[in-house]
Chain A
Amino acid sequence: MKILVPVKRVPDPTQKAKIKDGHIDLTGASWIVNTFDEYAVETALRLSENGEAASRNAGSEIVVVSIGPDDAAKEIRTTLAMGADRAIHVVANDSEIDSLVVVKVLSAIIAAEKPDLVVMGKQAVDGDANQVGQMLAGKLGWPQATFAASIALSDKTLTVGREVDGGVEYKKVNLPAVVTVDLRIVSPKAVQNGVTPASFGYSGEGARLPSLKGIMAAKKKPLETKKLADYGAEPKPVIRETTVTLPPPRPPGQIVADIPTLVKKLAEEAKVL
């Protein structure tokens, strides 16, 4: 199975947001692969390998695609080091793209690459838009399974457990399809590919870390560099950020000595009881 994984690099979310000239100041920021995209790479790997033997199933291929500035190549290499086979880096500055430009580029790449499945993050944790996957599926006319917490692959059908308001919905989609992954997709048995024994469970929290061997191998893996124009896309976003502001800090609270004091304050001061 050939799986395409779109990934975005994002500023490390543990950094404090600063504003400069009305926008987020990213000078000197450190960058990471969007966490959900890292989970998507992990998901693609789990779909493509025999967990027990840690070996890749015949005919499996994982292609990572990222649209982002020059220096995003570093984060793309991280996904190759995790185990993806090759990558396409479409160079563009953040001010030149929006969700629709990204979807246009991804659609063109998918037309050329013809993957069986697209696995991606449910949202980029910088913009928190949660829209590219659904838009892409709509543009392609493919079925979509968003917010995936589990995936079971059998033949040409996926059964996806989706985290929805009020529970977990199980949806079946035929391939090719777009799947966007939620946090719990990396729990030990969330991905069943029909090859890895059902009894096998992955250990550790989150996505795998690149091994030293993986990092060495990644240096030799193909990473193509492309331009927006190569995919008929123009650097003309229709969603423009005019300004960014920081929310006012919450007024400082108080530590209260004990529970009776707390309840008294909730009743008399905050008037919420």
Chain B
Amino acid sequence: MGNVLAYCEFSGSTLRSSALSNIAFARASAQAHGGEVIAVLIGAGAAGAGANAAKYAPKVITVEDAKLEHYLAETYAPILARLAKDNNATVVSATATSAGKDVMPRVAALLDAGMASDISKSEGKDTFVRPILAGNAYSTVQITTPIICVTVRQSEFEAAGELGSAGSVTSAPAGEINALGASFDHIDAQKSDRPDLGDAKVVVSGGRGMKNGENFKVLEQLADLLGAAMGASRAATDAGMVPADWQVGQTGKIVAPNLYFAVAISGAIQHLAGMKGSKTIVAINKNKDEPIFQVADYGVVADWEKAVPELIAEIKKIKASR
């Protein structure tokens, strides 16, 4: 018997939607382990978000301290490792966000735990399915350490719903905090009113063929018309046309929206790795031989300069007729 300690990120007084995928995994895993889900919230405002977390987890532990204001793997990992031991956890999990990917292997090292990264499925207590080779294959792994660490791929676990009755919230002391000579300096954040790439129902991505950042404006118009998030290929982000965190792919964001537009993107395996799970894929590319057309449900062989404005006009027409 063992519990599942789920590290949950929050924003303001609510859990991030990415955390709900982690809780969905944690529930299934806790059942297999005959234990319960314990959600852990760390950092400034953790206590304030505890009540919201308790809607999803039977037990919530919050840890607040002035020295934990900014996320640091060095200070957060020891807290998670200690709470795992104190609460008889056999699984410690996080969503595979940038913070989850950063902290969880460090927790695993502190616990001598084997870790399964970015899993797409869990099978029983200790067996997990995870994409490898840029999503070109799925590996089933079994982990034999007494405690197991896991990060879960958000797009593969449907957000957990609320429990019938709210769980309990307690706070735990931070203990001794030692950042080991690491410190947060600042963040250059991209503020946007669009949905997060990870959550969006529609994603509009552009590639090198957009040629420059200015040209992305027309894709942004399309995105705003559809309430979509913006994405891009590595070639477009590397060239500085758009922010780096728009990158979709093996090493960027993994997305699985209902509708994905790939505009002037060739369809390299590393890009496909990030969007192949989308329900409907539309490709607009002027070269009919590009690999993107092999994964696209609908392909249009056209120059974006003509096709995208026309697409916007046609969608507006349909919307107006409804």
Chain A residues in contact with chain B, CB under 8 A? 13-14, 16-17, 19, 24, 98-100, 103, 122-123, 125-139, 141-147, 149, 159, 162-174, 177, 182-184, 187, 238-247, 250, 253-256, 258-260, 262-263, 265-267, 270, 272-273
B237-268 vs A, Cβ < 8 Å mask (1 yes, 0 no): 11000011100001101000011000000000
Q: Whose C-beta in chain A lies nearest to the C-beta of B235?
A: A205
Q: Whose C-beta in chain A lies nearest to the C-beta of B98?
A: A164
Please tell me if the beta carbons of A142 and B184 are within 8 angstroms of each other in the complex: no
Residues of B within 8 A of A125 (CB): 133-134, 250
Name 21 A/B residue pairs within 8 A (Cβ), A-sorted: A99-B105, A127-B139, A128-B117, A129-B117, A130-B118, A135-B105, A143-B74, A143-B182, A145-B182, A164-B245, A171-B185, A174-B181, A239-B143, A240-B142, A240-B144, A247-B135, A253-B297, A255-B300, A256-B298, A259-B307, A272-B259
Please tell me if the beta carbons of A13 and B185 are within 8 angstroms of each other in the complex: no
Task: Check if B102 is an interface residue, CB within 8 A of chain A.
Answer: yes
Among the 9-residue stretches B58-66, B164-172, B211-219, B308-316, the one with 4 or more Cβ atoms under 8 Å from chain A is B308-316
Q: How far is the CB of B83 from chain A (nearest CB, A)?
A: 16
Known: A128-B131, A263-B311. 18 other contacts (CB 8 A): A19-B137, A125-B250, A128-B134, A131-B115, A137-B73, A137-B109, A165-B97, A170-B188, A182-B251, A238-B144, A244-B139, A245-B137, A246-B137, A253-B281, A253-B297, A259-B300, A259-B314, A273-B259
Residues of B within 8 A of A139 (CB): 109
**Alpha-carbon separation in the docked complex, A127 to B117 (Å):** 9
Interface size on B, residues (CB 8 A): 92
Q: How far is the CB of B252 from chain A (nearest CB, A)?
A: 9
**Alpha-carbon separation in the docked complex, A35 to B211 (Å):** 25
Residues of B within 8 A of A13 (CB): 133-134, 269-270
Among the 9-residue stretches B37-45, B48-56, B288-296, the one with 4 or more Cβ atoms under 8 Å from chain A is B288-296
Please tell me if the beta carbons of A254 and B299 are within 8 angstroms of each other in the complex: yes
Q: How far is the CB of A168 from chain B (nearest CB, A)?
A: 5
Please tell me if the beta carbons of B234 and A183 are within 8 angstroms of each other in the complex: yes
Q: Whose C-beta in chain B lies nearest to the C-beta of A245?
A: B138
**Alpha-carbon separation in the docked complex, A132 to B109 (Å):** 9
6 shortest interchain CB distances as A-B pairs: A138-B109, A174-B181, A134-B105, A131-B105, A143-B182, A138-B106
Q: Is the interface of A mostly helix, strand, loop or mixed?
A: mixed
A134-B109, A170-B186, A171-B182 are known contacts. Are A128 and B132 too (CB-CB below 8 A)? yes
Chain B residues in contact with chain A, CB under 8 A? 72-74, 77, 97-99, 101-110, 112, 114-118, 127, 130-145, 179-190, 196, 198, 202, 226, 234, 237-238, 243-245, 250-251, 253, 258-259, 269-270, 276, 279-282, 288, 293-302, 307, 310-311, 314-315, 317-318
Please tell me if the beta carbons of B114 and A239 are within 8 angstroms of each other in the complex: yes
Please tell me if the beta carbons of B180 and A143 are within 8 angstroms of each other in the complex: yes
Please tell me if the beta carbons of A266 and B138 are within 8 angstroms of each other in the complex: no
**Alpha-carbon separation in the docked complex, A182 to B250 (Å):** 12
Please tell me if the beta carbons of A184 and B138 are within 8 angstroms of each other in the complex: no
**Alpha-carbon separation in the docked complex, A247 to B139 (Å):** 10
Please tell me if the beta carbons of A256 and B299 are within 8 angstroms of each other in the complex: yes
Q: How far is the CB of B93 from chain A (nearest CB, A)?
A: 14
Please tell me if the beta carbons of A144 and B73 are within 8 angstroms of each other in the complex: yes
Residues of A within 8 A of B279 (CB): 270, 272
Q: How far is the CB of A178 from chain B (nearest CB, A)?
A: 10
Q: Whose C-beta in chain A lies nearest to the C-beta of B297?
A: A253
Residues of B within 8 A of A132 (CB): 105
Please tell me if the beta carbons of A147 and B109 are within 8 angstroms of each other in the complex: no
Residues of A within 8 A of B185 (CB): 159, 169-172
Please tell me if the beta carbons of A135 and B98 are within 8 angstroms of each other in the complex: no
